[in-house]
Amino acid sequence: MTIAKETAELLGKLGVASDVLKGGDLIVRSPVTGEKIAALKTISPADAAKAIDGAHKAFQTWRLVPGPKRGELVRLLGEELRAHKAELGRLVSIEVGKIPSEGLGEVQEMIDICDFAVGLSRQLYGLTIATERPGHRMMETWHPLGVVGVISAFNFPVAVWSWNTALALVCGDAVVWKPSEKTPLTALACEAIFARAVKRFGTDAPEGLLSVLIGDRAVGEILVDHPKVPLVSATGSTRMGRDVGPRLAKRFARAVLELGGNNAGIVAPSADLDMALRAIAFGAMGTAGQRCTTLRRLFVHDSVYDQLVPRLKKAYQSVSVGNPLETTSLVGPLIDKAAFDAMQKALAEATAHGGKVTGGTRVENGHPDAYYVHPALVEMPKQVSPVTEETFAPILYVMKYSDFDAVLDEHNAVGAGLSSSIFTRDLQESERFLGVDGSDCGIANVNIGTSGAEIGGAFGGEKETGGGRESGSDAWKAYMRRATNTVNYSKALPLAQGVSFDI
Ligand code: NAD
């Protein structure tokens, strides 16, 4: 069976009509073979605006549904995702090229965030605050915010939507989603899965609670500029964030920006090298280097460099690269030719700066439009460009260090601030790394890699990663508006700060 046929069958099982897949201007290809699997219609600006208006109407009803009841819809969404995990996971593998366990893992992450959000639906707590005035009560309440715009990247085509949507729904918001133009089919699948949950939930879920806008950047811009969208959660490159951030600021809308990473690891003299080796291999080569949290820079203490790096190189030379749908390879394809070209450009630049490259070449598999590569390990004499920028491909730059303070400085000396890790059994080093003058990233780990976060923590990073947080912890607060309420139940009107104003 061709991939196109299998895709249509999978989508059909999930409830997406096959006629949607034909006749449009947006050509969708599977990176697995490079073959065309659909041609979708792009939404017109007028229809996009209509969908946002519809979402705003849905919000006005949905916000009145009690939180725990809203949680029931998310519980049903989680059930539908459990029931369709195999199909959706396979579609992720087809559309992004992830190996099966990662395609399924992405759907598991969706299920996990639904479970988290169901609990949260009864825990949207405000505070009671001590007041300086007698006979008064002061408190904080959280109210639904409005339409949440979600813009997502190709590499986590469905999980990012679910992180935002599960929270937005329990918070009483409606969602309008602009998925990546490279991965619109998994978005249509999610829309159909969500529709099943809504059907089971019944009439309390208004029409328009979720809309999917198929299109490219121009459609994303409509969402960003629309006055009825008070929050846009945008995941993608730092380039995208540089455009989206100021546009949102201009109309005082909120932004949750989840942008590029240039994540580093430090291997200290006391590290468990077997553990470090496995974590580095997964962090740097997994998902073909196409995770925002992919390990891209590695600083190895010179006392253990010769023990670790030759073993790492061996792992690079032996890792299996190939078709994730038909083989048990650990590394699938790059998303497209542009990703391959960017990788080759970075490797050439690294070589020009004295880098010694292992791997990095193309793996031919009989499909000229599919881009498989041997992951590249590059030993660099020092941290210069292209090490300082994110290249969204499997390149790991390895550098020696000797001084802990100096390596912390090097670690933090890049624009991005997403994820980081240290491998050490030295308590002082690990605490320094996690402390105030340690890693400057939103995620800092000890003895585990940079990628593969759990949904319970707040996810996101600092600096050019955008500063946004989504998923666990108190990330839900971005999806609600906060009101401070003071109630006077006395018979007097004392003014704060002892001000008198007697008329
Ligand atoms: P991209 O920036 O090319 O596109 C991301 C999304 O933004 C797409 O839906 C695209 O259509 C839209 N878009 C682009 N420019 C826009 C604009 N000016 N206005 C509105 N919408 C716009 O990114 P990509 O290639 O799909 O994904 C890879 C990038 O995403 C990497 O940099 C990676 O690190 C980052 N990423 C970050 C996170 C995170 O949580 N920090 C997660 C996944 C991916």
Q: Is the pTM of this model over 0.90?
A: yes
Look at ligand 1, atom 15, and give the residue with the nearest C-alpha.
Answer: 240
Render 307-373 in DSSP notation, one character per residue. Answer: HHHHHHHHHHHH--BS-TTTS--SB---SSHHHHHHHHHHHHHHHHTT-EEE---EE--S-TT--EE
Backbone phi, then psi, for 267, in 5-degree steps? -110, 110
Please, are residues 269 and 304 in contact by the beta-carbon 8 Å criterion? Answer: yes
Averaged pLDDT in 10-residue chunks for the chain of 503 residues: 94 94 97 97 98 98 98 98 98 98 98 98 97 97 98 98 98 98 98 98 96 98 98 98 98 98 98 98 98 98 98 98 96 98 98 98 95 98 98 98 98 98 98 98 98 95 98 98 98 95 92
Q: Counting atoms of ligand 1 from 1, which one is nearest the CA of 156? A: 43
pLDDT of residue 484: 98
Can you tell me the distance from the alpha carbon of 150 to that of 220, in angstroms, rounded to the nearest whole number? Answer: 9
Q: What ipTM was reported for this prediction?
A: 0.99
Q: How far is the CA of 179 from the centre of ligand 1 (A)?
A: 9
Look at ligand 1, atom 22, and give the residue with the nearest C-alpha.
Answer: 217
Pocket probe mutation, ligand 1, options 217, 441, 459, max atoms within 8 Å of Cβ? 217
Look at ligand 1, atom 7, and give the residue with the nearest C-alpha.
Answer: 236
pLDDT of residue 132: 97
Q: Counting atoms of ligand 1 from 1, which one is nearest the CA of 418? A: 41
Element (H or E) spanning 169, and its range? helix 159-170
Q: Counting atoms of ligand 1 from 1, which one is nearest the CA of 154? A: 26
Q: How far is the CA of 491 from the centre of ligand 1 (A)?
A: 56
pLDDT of residue 158: 98
Can you tell me the distance from the alpha carbon of 59 to that of 138, in angstroms, rounded to the nearest whole number? Answer: 28
Q: Counting atoms of ligand 1 from 1, which one is nearest the CA of 215? A: 11
Pocket probe mutation, ligand 1, options 150, 155, 450, max atoms within 8 Å of Cβ? 155
Write the burial class of residue 12 (CB in 10 Å: 0-12 exposed, 13-18 middle, 19+ buried).
middle
Pocket probe mutation, ligand 1, options 240, 294, 295, 464, max atoms within 8 Å of Cβ? 240
Residue 5 in tokens = 């046929």
Q: Counting atoms of ligand 1 from 1, which one is nearest the CA of 216? A: 11
Pick left, alpha or beta for residue 137 (phi over 0 → left; psi -120 to 50 → alpha; otherwise beta).
Answer: beta
pLDDT of residue 376: 98
Look at ligand 1, atom 43, and give the residue with the nearest C-alpha.
Answer: 292
Q: How far is the CA of 237 from the centre of ligand 1 (A)?
A: 4
Contacts of 470 (CB under 8 A, 6+ apart): 160, 163, 164, 167, 233, 256, 258, 458, 459, 460, 478
**Pocket around ligand 1 at a 6 A CB cut-off:** 151-156, 178, 180-181, 216-217, 220-221, 224, 235-237, 240, 243-244, 258-261, 292, 390, 392, 418, 465
pLDDT of residue 429: 98
Pocket probe mutation, ligand 1, options 232, 292, 337, max atoms within 8 Å of Cβ? 292
Indicate if 258 belongs to the active site.
Answer: yes
* Annotated catalytic residue within 258, 429, 464, 470: 258
pLDDT of residue 65: 98
Residue 40 in tokens = 């979708």
Look at ligand 1, atom 39, and give the residue with the nearest C-alpha.
Answer: 258
Backbone phi, then psi, for 369, in 5-degree steps? -95, 10
Q: Counting atoms of ligand 1 from 1, which one is nearest the CA of 153? A: 26
Interhelix angle 100-120/67-83, nearest 10 degrees: 160
Q: How far is the CA of 404 from the centre of ligand 1 (A)?
A: 34
pLDDT of residue 405: 98
Look at ligand 1, atom 40, and give the residue with the nearest C-alpha.
Answer: 258
pLDDT of residue 365: 86
